[in-house]
C-alpha cells in the first residue's frame, strides 16, 4: 500500500472514504505523479486495479476473482479482447430466449442416391439424365455433386465417357469441373493428361484452370511448370495469394529454397497479403542456414508491421521452427500476459503508448482526414471548428474527455443528465481535469436533460457543445489527442466509422493502437451503482521481439475474433543460456 | 466388380463410338486401328501409368480422352498460328473473357473494343468481374428484347397474311367513316405538353436540380443520374401544372452535360428547361430556397408554392453520407426532408429516393397538397403501408387536432421499439421480433 499518494487534502478525504466504503486496495495517482510503468498516464480507477496490485504469477490463487458476478456472465476485461463481440451476441440471444429458438440451419447436402457409387454405362447415364430435373445442365450439375461428395474419379470418368459418346465433345466447363475433382482427389496422372488435353484444345485457359493446374502440379515432380503457369496468369490478372502459396509449397517440397523465397518476395512486392498456410509452409520447410533465418524473422516483422496475428496452427509451426534452430537454443511456451508482463518469462511487453513521432502523425491525420476530410461541412462548420480549436488551446490539457451523449445513454434506466453527472463527478472527484463534449440540445431544459444537473456538470468540468447537426466524435478525438499522451476518453463507441475515414492502413493501425490505450469503456452501469471502467491494457498486442525473445500473439482455433478485437493468447519464445 | 467381360463390352461400345467418331477411335485394349499412330504415345503412357484403368472395372473410362484429344487436333491449325506471336494485352483479355464464358461464368458473349479497353483499365479483379457481370446482364436484356421483337413481328406477319383476303375491302370502308376529328396523333399531344412547358417557363414555380456532384460520382452513377433526370423531365412535361425546371451548376464539359447531350440528342437544344452554369443562389433570393435532402433535421410539413425547392442530382452507390447537407450548410440554405417516417411505416432501404420519385411526389403535392397521395410514389418494397390507413380503420375523425393526436399516438406505438433499437445498437434481433409482434397486432386490427 505504499503506492497511495495524496497531493490534495480534498482528494485525500474522498479517497479515504472510497477506501473505507470499498475496503479493497486501490491505486490511483494524481497526474503530477508519473507511474513507472507507462509514460505518465494518470490512473483512472478501473475494475482491474486489484489485479494490477497483485504480483504476477499469483493468478491461480485468485479463485474468487469474479465473486460478485455469475460465472457465465463475467464481464470481459476489454471490448477489444478476442471473442467479446461473439460473447455479447450470445448473451443477447440468450436473453432473447425463445424468440430465437430455431436451431442452426442444416446445410443442404446432395442426396446420396443422386451420385452413383460405381461407374455407369452410357445407357445407365442416359436413363439418369432423362429422369433428372434439368437435362440441359445435367452433366455439369452431376459433376458438381460428385465434387461436393468427394466421390471417386472413375465414376466421373464414366460420365465423361458417356458425354463424349453422346455429343462427340466434352465442354470446357465439364473438363474444368473434372479437373477440380482430380486436383482435390490428388490424381496426378489425370491432371497431367487433362493439362495436355486442355493445352492442345484451347488457346488459353481461364484463371480458374490455371489456379487448379498450379495446385495440381505443385505436388508432383513437374512442379516447375507451376512457374510457367503463374507467368501466364500474370499476363491477364494478378495471381492470387493462393496461387503463389501453391507454387511456394511446390518449391518447398522439392527443396528449392531460393525459388520459394523469390516467389514470396514477388508476392509481397505486388502488395498481396500471403496466406497463413504459406507462412506455415515456409516455417515448416525447415530450411536452415543464416539467410533463411533472417528471412523467416522478416516474416514475423511483416506480421508486426501489418498487425497480423498468426493462427494457432501457424503459431505451432513458428514455435517448432524456433525450437529446431541449431546452436542457440530457443525455448517456446504458450502464455498469457498480465499487466504487461509475460506470465511465462516475466519479460515486460511493449507499451501501448505511441511514440512522439507517431503521436504527432496521428494527431495531424485525425485533424485532416477525420474532422476536415474532403469537406469540412460534412461534419461541422469552419466557424465551429475555429471556436473549438481556440477553446481547446485556451485551456490547460485535459485528463479525461467524455463523450457526453454516449455516456448519458449508457444506462437505460434513469435520467440521462443524471447518468452523465454521476460519471463526471466520479472522475472529477479523482482530481482529474474533465472535458465534456455534447450537443447544444442538451442545454435546453427537458425531461431527460435537467438544467440543474447540467449546471452541476458545467461546474465540475469544462464543456463544449456542438451544433445539433454536427458530429461530436471527431471533436472528442481531437481534444483527447491535443491534450497529450496521458489524456483518455470515455465512450462506448468503437469509433469504427472514424477509423474508416483514415485512408491508409498504417494510419488506421496507429489509430487503433491509440484507441486501445486511451479509451475508457464504461461497464454496464445502473444509477446509484459504482462506476467501473474496463481495464486499459498497458501493453501492445502485436508481434514483438526484444534481443533474446519473441512474443507473438495468436488466434486460438475456434474462437471468433472481430476485426476490432485482439487476441489474448501469446507464444513466448526466449533464448536459453 | 468383373461383371462385364471386355469382349462383351467391346460389342456394346464399339458400335456407339464408331458410329459417331469414325473408325479411328479405339479402345486402348482393342485391336490396333490405322489411325492409332496419332495418339500412340499418349495411349501407351496412359496404359502404363494406369494399369487398373477402365478395363478392371469393365468400362472404358479413358475413351473420352481420345474424343477430347481428337478435337484438339481439329482446332490445332488456328492455334498453331496464334501461339507464334505474343498476343496484345487487349487480345489476351478478350481471350480470358472468352474462357471465362466457357467456364460457365456470367460474362458477355461479345465485347466491343471500348468495353474491352474499359475492362483492361479497371484496377482490381473484383472490379473486372463486376463489370463483366454488368455487361452480361445488359447483353441478356438486349437479347431478350430482340427476341421479343422478332416474335412480335412474326406474329404480326402471320396475322396479316391470314386475313389478307378480307382486309382488301376493309380500309376502303374505314376511310369513308364520318368523323369530326382526324386521328389524334402523338404529335398533337406533344404540342400540348410543350405549350404547357412553355407556360411553366414563363409563370411556373421553379424546381432546381443541383448539378454540382459530378466529381463525387463514377461514370455509372452519372449515367444513372441522367436517366433519372430524363424521367423527371418526362413526368414534369406530362403533368397538368409543370414546374419550371432549372439545371443549375451545369458546367460546360461536365460529365452530366455530355451524358445529357448523348441521351437527348438534338432534342437537348429544344428542351423547355433552363440549363445554366450559374448556381441556384445567384438565380433566386436565398430565403426562397429550400434544399431537399434526406439528412436534413427539418421535416417538410407542407408544400409551399412560393419556395424554390432544390434537389441534388446525384446517385450515390458508394457511401457518401451528408454530401448535399454539407452543400446546403455551406451556402446557408434552409433544408428539409420528406415526411417519410411520419406517414409511412418504414421497413427497409435508404430514405433517399430516386429523382423521378421525388419529382412525382413534388408534382402531386403541388397539385393536391396531400402527403398520403404524394407518398404513393415511394416504392412499396420500402415500407409497410401508411399510418393513416390504420386511422381510417379505427374510425377516427379526419379533421383538426384530434386527427393529429391520433396520428402521433399511432406513431409512438409503432416506433418506440425501433427507437430503442437504434439507441442500444446491438439488440436489433430482439426488437425486430418485438416489432413483428406489434405488426401482426396492427394487421389483426
Residue-wise pLDDT tens digits, A403-462? 999 888 887 777 888 889 988 998 999 899 999 999 999 898 888 888 889 999 999 999
Q: Are A358 and A510 in contact (CB under 8 A)?
A: yes
Instruction: Please judge whether A237 and B67 are an interchain contact, meaning their C-beta atoms are less than 8 angstroms apart.
Output: no
What's the CA gap between B211 and B247, in Å, rounded?
7
pLDDT bucket at B169, cuts 50 / 70 / 90 = low
CA torsion angle for A84, A85, A90, A96 (degrees, to 10)?
130
| Residue B93 pLDDT | 85
Q: What percentage of chain B has pLDDT greater than the value 70?
A: 66
Tell how strand B334-336 and strand B289-292 pair up: parallel
How many other CB atoms are found less than 10 A from the CB of residue A561? 18
The closest of B429, B106, B45, B66 to A91, measured between CA atoms, is B429
The beta strand positions in A224-361, using DSSP E, are: 330-338, 341-342
Q: Does the pLDDT of residue B225 top 50, yes or no?
A: yes
Q: Is B27 helix (H, G, I), strand (E, B) or coil?
A: coil
Residue B394 banded pLDDT, cuts 50, 70, 90: very low
Which of B49, B62, B96 is closest, CB to CB, to A206?
B96
Q: What is the mean pLDDT of chain A?
A: 80
Range with top average pLDDT, A192-206, A381-395, B154-168: A381-395
Residues 390-409 of A with CB under 8 A from B: 409
> Percentages helix, strand, coil for chain A, rounded to the nearest 5?
50, 10, 40
Distance of CA A331 to the CA centre of its chain: 27
Give the chain B residue nearest A141 (alpha carbons). Answer: B104
Give CA–CA dist B355/B346, Å, rounded.
Answer: 19
Tell me, yes or no, if A231 comes closer than 8 A to chain B by beta carbon: no
Residue B222's pLDDT is what? Answer: 94
Asked if A494 reaches chain B (Cβ–Cβ under 8 Å), the answer is: no
Q: Which residues of B touch A118 (CB under 8 A)?
A: 1, 57
528-567 in A: which are within 8 Å (CB) of B?
none
The Cα B410–Cα B438 span in angstroms is 12
Residue B238 has pLDDT above 90, yes or no: yes
User: How many contacts, defined by CB atoms under 8 Å, are there between A and B?
Assistant: 150
Assigned C-alpha cell, B229: 433526370
Q: How far apart are CA A233 and CA A239, in angstroms?
A: 6
CATH class of B204-386: alpha beta
**Is A179 touching B (CB cutoff 8 A)?**
no
A200 reaches B (C-beta below 8 A): yes
Give residue A337's pLDDT: 85
Residue in B with minimal Cα distance to A97: B430
pLDDT score at A33: 37
Q: Which residues of A touch B46 (CB under 8 A)?
A: 189, 193
- Give the H/E segment covering residue A478: helix A473-483
pLDDT digits (tens, 9 = 90+) for B6-29: 444 333 344 444 444 443 434 444
Q: What is the mean pLDDT of residues A218-245?
A: 88
Identify all chain A residues contacting B1, using CB atoms and an 8 Å cutoff: 118
**Residue partners of A363: CB distance under 8 A and separation at least 6:** A478, A481, A482
CA dist B374 → A156, B245, B302, B338, B343 (Å): 61, 19, 12, 10, 11
Q: Which range (A40-54, A167-181, A260-274, B24-38) has the least confidence?
A: B24-38
Residue pLDDT, tens place only, B342-358: 999 999 988 999 999 99
Residue B145 in this model has a pLDDT that exceeds 80: yes
Task: Please name the residues in contact with B427: beta carbons below 8 A apart, sequence gap of 6 or more.
Answer: A92, B420, B421
Assess whether pLDDT exceeds 60 at residue B338.
Answer: yes
| Contact assignment for B429 to A173 by CB distance below 8 Å | no
B440 CA to centre of own chain: 33
Q: Where are the domains of chain B?
A: 93-157, 204-386
- Among the partner residues A203, A209, A379, nearest to B79 by beta-carbon distance: A203
B372-383 CB burial, b ≥16 within 10 A, e <16: eebbebbeeeeb
Three-state SS at B117: helix
Q: Report percent pLDDT > 70 for chain A.
A: 82
Instruction: State CA B89 to chain mean position distance.
Output: 30
- Closest to A44 (Cα-Cα) out of A73, A348, A481, A52: A52
Question: What would the mean pLDDT of A313-341 be, rounded to a whole number?
Answer: 85
What value does the mean pLDDT take over residues B297-321?
91
SS3 A139: helix
A172: chain B residues, CB-CB within 8 Å: 99, 102-103
Q: What share of chain B is helix, strand, coil (3-state, %, to 5)?
A: 60, 5, 30
Higher pLDDT, A524 or A293: A293
Predicted local distance difference test score (pLDDT) of residue B162: 85
Range of A11-15, A206-210, B80-84 with top mean pLDDT? A206-210
**Strand-pair partners of A93:** none
Kindly tell me if the per-residue pLDDT of B157 is higher than 90.
yes
CB-based contact A189 B16, cutoff 8 Å: no
Contact, B249 vs B277, CB < 8 A? yes
- Cα B248 from chain centre: 27
Residue among A301, A413, A395, A338 at smallest CA distance from A50: A338
Query: Residue A173: closest CA among chain B residues belongs to which residue?
Result: B103
Contact A160 B329 (CB under 8 A): no
Distance between CA B43 and CA B65 in Å, rounded? Answer: 10
ipTM (interface predicted TM): 0.76
Q: What whole-number distance in Å separates Cα of residue B45 and Cα of residue B57?
A: 19
Contact B426 A168 (CB under 8 A): no
| The pLDDT of residue B45 | 38
What three-state secondary structure class fits A55? Answer: coil
Contact A119 B329 (CB under 8 A): no
Closest CA to B132 of B148, B119, B114, B149: B119
Angle, vertex CA A166, rays to CA A160 and CA A171, nearest 5 = 50
Per the model's pLDDT, the better-predicted residue between A374 and B364 turns out to be: B364
- State whether residue A496 sits within 8 Å of chain B by CB: no
Q: Is A245 a residue whose pLDDT tops 80?
A: yes
DSSP per-residue codes, A427-476 = HHHTT--EEEEEEGGGGS--SSS-HHHHHHHHHHSEEEEE-TTS-SHHHH
Give me the long-range contacts of A445-452 (CB less than 8 A, separation at least 24).
A447/A415, A448/A408, A448/A415, A448/A416, A448/A417, A449/A416, A449/A417, A450/A415, A450/A417, A450/A418
CB A430 within 8 A of CB A533: no
B330 closest CB neighbour out of A176, A202, A377:
A377
Kindly tell me if the per-residue pLDDT of A11 is higher than 60: no
The predicted model gives B95-108 an average pLDDT of 89
Per-residue confidence (pLDDT) for residue A290, from 0 to 100: 62
Average pLDDT, integer, range A169-197: 88
CA distance to A157, B1, B5, B429, per residue, from B57 (Å): 12, 6, 9, 56
Angle between helical axes of A257-269 and A290-306 (0-180°, round to 10):
20
Give me the mean pLDDT over the B172-194 stretch: 78
Nearest CB to A92: which of B68, B95, B430?
B430
Q: Which of A158, A176, A203 sits opposite B103 (nearest CB)?
A: A176
Instruction: Give the confidence band of B328 by pLDDT, cuts at 50, 70, 90.
Output: very high
State the sign of the Cα–Cα–Cα–Cα dihedral A375, A489, A354, A545: negative
Q: Which residue has the higher pLDDT, B169 or A547?
A: A547
Confidence of residue B35 (pLDDT cuts 50, 70, 90): very low
Identity of the residue in B49, B69, B329 whose CB atom sits nearest the CB atom of A377: B329
The pLDDT of A185-200, averaged and rounded, is 87
Chain A interface disruption, residue of B4, B59, B84, most A CBs within 10 A:
B59
pTM, 2 dp = 0.74
| Cβ burial, residue A165 (10 Å; 0-12/13-18/19+) | buried
Listed in sequence order, the residues at least 6 apart from A125 whose beta carbon sits closer than 8 Å to its beta carbon are A158, A159, A162
pLDDT higher than 60, residue A60: no
Is the predicted pLDDT of residue A532 greater than 70, yes or no?
yes
Q: Which residues of B touch A237 (CB under 8 A)?
A: 96, 125, 128
B-chain residues within 8 Å CB-CB of A409?
423
Residues of chain B found within 8 Å of residue A204, distances taken between Cβ atoms:
92, 95-96, 99
Cβ of A206 within 8 Å of Cβ of B102? The answer is: yes
* Distance between CA atoms of residues B256 and A513, nearest Å: 43
B410 grid coordinates: 399511432
Amino acid at each position: 500500500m505504499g503506492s497511495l499518494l495524496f497531493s490534495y487534502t480534498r482528494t485525500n478525504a474522498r479517497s479515504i472514504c472510497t477506501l473505507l466504503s470499498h475496503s479493497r486496495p486501490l491505486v490511483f495517482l494524481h497526474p503530477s505523479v508519473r507511474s513507472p510503468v507507462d509514460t505518465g498516464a494518470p490512473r483512472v480507477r478501473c475494475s482491474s486495479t486489484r489485479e494490477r496490485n497483485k504480483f504476477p504469477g499469483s493468478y491461480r490463487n485468485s479463485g474468487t476473482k469474479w465473486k460478485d458476478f455469475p460465472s457465465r456472465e463475467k464481464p470481459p476485461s476489454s471490448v477489444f479482447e478476442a471473442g467479446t463481440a461473439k460473447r455479447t451476441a450470445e448473451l443477447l440471444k440468450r436473453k432473447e430466449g425463445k424468440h430465437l429458438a430455431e436451431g442452426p440451419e442444416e446445410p443442404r447436402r446432395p442426396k446420396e442416391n443422386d451420385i452413383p457409387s460405381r461407374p455407369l454405362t452410357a445407357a445407365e447415364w442416359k436413363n439418369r439424365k432423362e429422369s433428372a430435373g434439368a437435362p440441359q445442365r445435367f452433366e455439369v450439375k452431376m459433376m458438381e455433386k460428385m465434387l461436393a461428395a468427394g466421390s471417386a474419379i472413375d465414376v466421373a470418368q464414366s460420365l465423361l465417357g458417356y458425354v463424349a459418346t453422346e455429343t462427340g465433345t466434352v465442354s470446357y466447363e465439364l473438363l474444368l469441373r473434372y479437373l477440380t475433382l482430380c486436383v482435390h482427389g490428388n490424381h496426378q496422372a489425370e491432371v497431367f493428361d487433362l493439362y495436355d488435353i486442355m493445352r492442345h484444345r484451347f488457346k488459353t485457359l481461364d484463371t480458374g484452370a490455371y489456379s487448379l493446374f498450379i495446385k495440381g502440379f505443385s505436388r508432383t515432380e513437374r512442379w516447375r511448370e507451376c512457374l510457367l503457369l503463374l507467368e501466364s496468369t500474370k499476363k491477364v490478372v494478378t495471381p492470387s495469394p493462393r496461387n503463389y502459396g501453391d507454387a511456394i509449397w511446390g518449391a518447398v517440397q522439392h527443396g528449392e529454397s531460393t525459388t520459394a523465397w523469390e516467389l514470396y518476395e514477388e508476392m509481397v512486392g505486388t502488395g498481396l497479403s500471403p496466406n497463413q498456410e504459406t507462412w506455415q509452409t515456409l516455417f515448416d520447410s525447415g530450411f536452415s542456414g543464416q539467410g533463411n533465418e533472417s528471412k523467416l524473422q522478416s516474416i514475423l516483422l511483416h506480421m508486426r508491421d501489418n498487425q497480423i496475428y498468426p493462427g494457432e496452427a501457424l503459431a505451432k509451426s513458428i514455435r517448432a521452427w524456433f525450437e529446431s534452430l541449431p546452436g542457440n537454443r530457443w525455448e517456446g511456451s504458450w502464455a498469457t500476459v498480465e499487466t504487461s508482463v509475460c506470465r511465462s518469462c516475466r519479460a515486460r511487453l511493449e507499451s501501448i503508448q505511441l511514440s512522439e513521432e507517431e503521436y504527432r502523425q496521428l494527431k495531424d491525420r485525425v485533424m485532416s482526414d477525420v474532422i476536415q476530410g474532403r469537406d469540412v461541412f460534412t461534419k461541422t462548420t469552419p466557424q465551429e471548428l475555429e471556436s473549438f480549436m481556440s477553446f481547446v488551446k485556451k485551456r490547460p490539457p485535459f485528463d479525461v474527455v467524455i463523450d457526453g451523449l454516449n455516456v448519458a445513454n449508457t444506462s437505460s434506466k434513469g435520467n440521462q443528465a443524471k447518468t452523465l453527472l454521476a460519471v463526471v463527478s466520479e472522475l472529477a472527484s479523482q482530481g482529474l481535469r474533465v472535458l465534456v463534449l455534447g450537443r447544444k440540445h442538451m442545454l435546453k431544459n427537458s425531461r431527460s436533460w435537467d438544467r440543474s444537473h447540467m449546471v452541476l456538470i458545467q461546474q465540475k468540468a469544462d464543456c463544449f457543445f456542438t451544433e445539433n447537426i454536427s458530429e461530436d466524435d471527431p471533436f472528442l478525438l481531437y481534444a483527447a489527442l491535443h491534450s497529450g499522451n496521458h489524456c483518455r476518453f470515455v465512450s462506448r463507441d468503437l469509433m469504427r466509422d472514424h477509423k474508416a475515414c483514415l485512408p491508409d492502413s498504417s494510419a488506421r493501425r496507429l489509430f487503433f493502437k491509440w484507441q486501445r490505450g486511451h479509451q475508457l469503456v464504461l461497464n454496464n452501469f445502473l444509477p446509484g451503482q459504482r462506476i467501473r471502467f474496463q481495464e486499459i491494457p498497458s501493453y501492445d498486442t502485436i508481434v514483438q521481439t526484444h534481443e533474446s525473445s519473441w512474443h507473438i500473439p495468436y488466434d486460438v482455433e475456434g474462437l471468433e475474433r472481430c476485426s476490432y478485437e485482439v487476441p489474448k493468447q501469446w507464444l513466448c519464445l526466449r533464448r536459453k543460456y | 466388380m468383373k461383371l462385364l467381360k471386355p469382349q462383351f463390352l467391346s460389342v456394346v461400345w464399339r458400335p456407339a463410338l464408331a458410329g459417331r467418331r469414325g473408325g479411328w477411335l479405339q479402345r486402348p485394349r482393342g485391336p490396333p486401328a490405322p489411325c492409332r499412330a496419332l495418339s500412340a504415345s499418349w495411349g501407351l503412357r496412359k496404359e502404363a501409368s494406369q494399369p487398373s484403368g477402365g478395363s478392371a472395372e469393365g468400362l472404358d473410362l479413358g475413351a473420352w480422352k481420345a474424343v477430347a484429344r481428337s478435337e484438339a487436333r481439329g482446332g490445332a491449325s488456328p492455334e498453331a498460328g496464334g501461339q507464334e506471336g505474343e498476343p496484345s494485352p487487349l487480345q489476351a483479355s478478350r481471350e480470358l473473357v472468352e474462357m471465362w464464358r466457357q467456364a460457365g461464368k456470367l460474362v458477355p458473349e461479345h465485347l466491343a473494343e471500348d468495353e474491352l479497353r474499359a475492362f483492361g483499365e479497371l484496377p482490381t479483379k473484383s472490379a473486372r468481374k463486376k463489370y463483366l457481370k454488368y455487361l452480361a446482364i445488359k447483353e441478356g436484356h438486349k437479347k431478350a428484347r430482340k427476341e421479343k421483337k422478332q416474335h412480335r413481328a412474326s406474329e404480326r406477319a402471320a396475322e396479316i397474311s391470314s386475313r389478307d383476303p378480307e382486309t382488301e375491302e376493309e380500309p376502303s370502308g374505314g376511310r369513308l367513316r364520318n368523323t369530326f376529328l382526324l386521328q389524334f396523333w402523338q404529335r398533337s399531344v406533344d404540342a400540348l405538353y410543350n405549350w404547357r412547358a412553355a407556360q411553366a417557363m414563363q409563370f411556373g414555380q421553379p424546381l432546381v436540380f443541383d448539378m454540382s456532384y459530378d466529381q463525387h460520382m463514377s461514370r455509372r452513377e452519372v449515367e444513372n443520374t441522367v436517366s433519372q433526370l430524363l424521367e423527371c423531365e418526362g413526368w414534369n412535361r406530362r403533368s397538368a401544372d409543370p414546374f419550371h425546371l432549372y439545371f443549375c451548376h451545369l458546367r460546360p464539359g461536365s460529365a452530366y452535360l455530355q451524358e445529357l447531350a448523348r441521351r437527348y440528342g438534338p432534342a437537348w437544344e429544344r428542351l423547355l428547361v433552363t440549363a445554366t452554369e450559374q448556381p441556384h443562389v445567384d438565380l433566386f433570393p436565398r430565403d426562397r430556397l429550400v434544399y431537399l435532402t434526406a439528412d436534413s433535421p427539418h421535416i417538410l410539413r407542407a408544400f409551399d408554392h412560393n419556395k424554390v425547392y432544390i434537389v441534388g442530382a446525384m446517385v450515390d452507390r458508394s457511401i457518401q453520407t451528408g454530401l448535399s447537407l454539407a452543400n446546403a450548410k455551406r451556402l446557408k440554405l434552409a433544408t428539409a426532408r420528406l415526411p417519410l417516417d411520419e406517414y409511412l411505416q418504414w421497413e427497409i432501404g435508404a430514405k433517399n429516393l430516386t429523382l423521378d420519385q421525388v419529382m412525382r411526389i413534388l408534382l402531386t403535392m403541388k397539385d393536391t397538397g396531400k402527403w398520403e397521395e404524394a407518398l404513393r410514389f415511394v416504392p412499396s418494397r420500402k415500407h409497410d403501408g401508411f399510418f393513416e390507413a390504420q386511422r381510417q380503420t379505427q374510425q377516427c375523425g379526419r379533421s383538426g387536432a384530434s386527427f393529429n393526436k391520433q396520428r402521433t399516438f399511432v406513431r409512438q406505438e409503432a416506433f418506440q421499439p425501433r427507437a430503442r433499437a437504434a439507441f442500444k445498437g446491438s439488440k436489433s434481433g430482439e426488437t425486430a421480433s418485438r416489432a413483428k409482434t406489434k405488426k401482426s397486432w396492427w394487421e389483426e386490427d
